[in-house]
Amino acid sequence: MIEFKRKQHVSVSAYQKPKEGNFLCGDSYVVVESEEYVICAVADGLGSGEEAHASSTTVVNVIKQHHHESVKRLVELCNNNLVSQRGVVLTVVKFDQREKKAHFGSVGNIGFLFYSSSGQIIRPMPRRGFLSGRRINVKTECFPFDPGSIFVIYSDGVHLSGIKHENLTDLRSQEEASRFIEKHVKANDDDMTLLVGQLH
């Protein structure tokens, strides 16, 4: 399923597909926008099916409720709410529209690529592990962005091929996103979530 959202500060194409044989996808994503910032996140529940879906949904709901918090605090809150649930891996990025700075936090193998409008590529390193309610040391990174910058967030069920900055600059409709996914996303026997966003 492909969903296209155009907001004031960002346009996002989202693609999700559950693992073959499952009704529910174990991944969840969220896009939150205010006047001052945009938050995008992908959470992948460990394993697949209903329990994985429940855990990733918990994380997304925490982010929706507390989006005003810093990225570090958001990750901590997500972790705290996973006690007695299956764990998740998570990437959260918050784009501060006033300072034009991106704040990035990640635990586990959720991929993240950032392309500035000039074509510079940034690929922050995630922290190893997963969130499960156990105490963790959350580290975040910060880097500048400008209008026209593009980002890609994807769960480990997604295998990308042949992606270049110029492939991403025209994803301004659901039809364009569908063609991009058909060409560059390889099928895999796992839950899949892919967000491609462009900042305005």
CATH of the domain at 42: 3.60.40.10
Q: How many CA atoms lie within 13 A of 156 on its CB side?
A: 13
Residue indicated by tokens 């995630």 = 126
Residue 124 has pLDDT above 70, yes or no: yes
Q: Average pLDDT in the 59-84 region? A: 97
Distances (CA, A) of 192 to 24, 77, 157: 11, 24, 5
- Over residues 13-26, the pLDDT tens digits come to 888 888 888 889 99
pLDDT of residue 53: 96
Give the Cα separation of 45 and 85 in Å (integer).
10
Element spanning 178, H or E: helix 174-184
pLDDT in tens, 94-106: 999 999 999 999 9
Among 37-41, 44-48, 62-66, the minimum mean pLDDT is found in: 44-48
Q: Mean pLDDT over residues 68-80, rounded?
A: 97
The separation between the first and the last C-alpha atoms of the chain, rounded to the nearest angstrom, is 24
Range from 82-86, 136-140, 184-188 carrying the lowest mean pLDDT: 184-188
Give the model's pLDDT for residue 22. 86
**In the chain, where do the E strands start and end?**
2-6, 10-17, 27-33, 37-45, 88-96, 101-107, 111-115, 121-122, 140-144, 150-154, 159-160, 185-186, 192-199
Structural domain total, the chain: 1
The domain containing residue 110 runs over which residues?
2-199
Q: Report pLDDT digits (tens) over 43-54.
A: 999 998 999 999
